[in-house]
Amino acid sequence: MKIKLTNIEDTRNQAVTQILDELEKKKKEAVSSGDEELANNCWRESEALKLNIRYIEAFDKIKSRKYRDAWNDLERCEIDADSIERNSDSNFVINSRCRFIKDKVEKWQSLYPYCVFVSPGFKVGYYTCSICNHKVRPRSRCSHVKGKIYGGELCVHVAHDLEFLEVSIVTKPVQKYSVLHNDETLDFSLIDYLSSFLDNAFEDWVAHWTRMSFAIERFSQVDPSDDCPCKSGKKFEECCINEKEISIPHVDFQFFKDIPDEKANVRFPY
């Protein structure tokens, strides 16, 4: 059974759950018969399918202006696409749309107005390997590499005896879930504008970031105590108020209306 997977209706198809169940079953059988390669293939197929579903859901949420929910889905996509890429050859990464999704997730994220995040700090007692339960110490490691798959399971290091230390406010977080903004106060017009031109999560587009200069006269309405139009984050009076021109960040979107055949015709499981 192969299914088409491009829009939100496709993701709700009963067959999706069926395929995922079958892959899980096949993986278990492969593990018990010692066929590691087959088990890993099942993991890949299943993860790529789930990644596509999550990306389509994120796109759907962007279209319905649920920006924060979409953000969380995009972050999950980023993490999962990295795991798939680390454990697959480039053919699989391209043909399962994993490369496309990874690239687009980064571009969507760059259009979000989020810039500060909460990052909790922990002191970790010790880590164990999720594959063999070995206690990982600098001089005592098992043969498993973190982030690689073994018998269809992703190796992670599980932290134990966590001691909470502090919360820091950061601009480049390890994970991007904990956004420290109130969405009500933010401007999502770029995302809105872009998504209004896209009917489908797999249509290709490119954002070109540039700056455009405008004569100072155009900003006569801006109060000196307002934020500077150049988006430096400073007040107008402390920034460009005495310049002849103000340079403003500008983005051009380029669209490629046709979904390339190789993406439109992908059937899952790949």
Which residues form the interface with Zn ion (CB under 5 A)? 129, 131-132, 134, 142, 144, 228, 230, 232, 239-240
Give the Cβ contact number of residue 117 at 10 Å: 19
Is the Cβ of residue 238 or residue 262 nearer to Zn ion in the bound state? 238
Is the Cβ of residue 238 or residue 258 nearer to Zn ion in the bound state? 238
Buried b (16+ CB within 10 A) or exposed e, 174-203: eebeebeeeeeeeebeebeebbeebeebbb
Is the Cβ of residue 129 or residue 149 nearer to Zn ion in the bound state? 129
Placement of tokens 């999706």 in the chain: 16
- Min CB(257)–Zn ion separation in Å: 37
d(CA 96, CA 78): 15
d(CA 5, CA 24): 19
- Min CB(246)–Zn ion separation in Å: 6
Is the Cβ of residue 201 or residue 240 nearer to Zn ion in the bound state? 240
Residue-level length of the chain:
270
Contacts 24+ apart (CB under 8 A), 31-36: 31/151, 31/152, 36/150, 36/151, 36/152
Cβ-based burial of 267 (10 A; exposed 0-12, middle 13-18, buried ≥19): exposed
- Min CB(41)–Zn ion separation in Å: 21
Is the Cβ of residue 179 or residue 228 nearer to Zn ion in the bound state? 228
- Min CB(87)–Zn ion separation in Å: 16
Is the Cβ of residue 4 or residue 86 nearer to Zn ion in the bound state? 86
Placement of tokens 């206690």 in the chain: 135
- Min CB(43)–Zn ion separation in Å: 17
- Min CB(67)–Zn ion separation in Å: 26
- Min CB(131)–Zn ion separation in Å: 4
Compute the half-sphere exposure of residue 17: CA atoms within 13 Å on the CB side of its CA: 3
The vertex-184 CA angle with 231 and 59, nearest 5°, equals 90
- Min CB(125)–Zn ion separation in Å: 18
Contact (CB, 8 A) for 99 and 204: no
Is the Cβ of residue 101 or residue 239 nearer to Zn ion in the bound state? 239
What does the block give as tokens for 14?
């009963």
Is the Cβ of residue 25 or residue 135 nearer to Zn ion in the bound state? 135
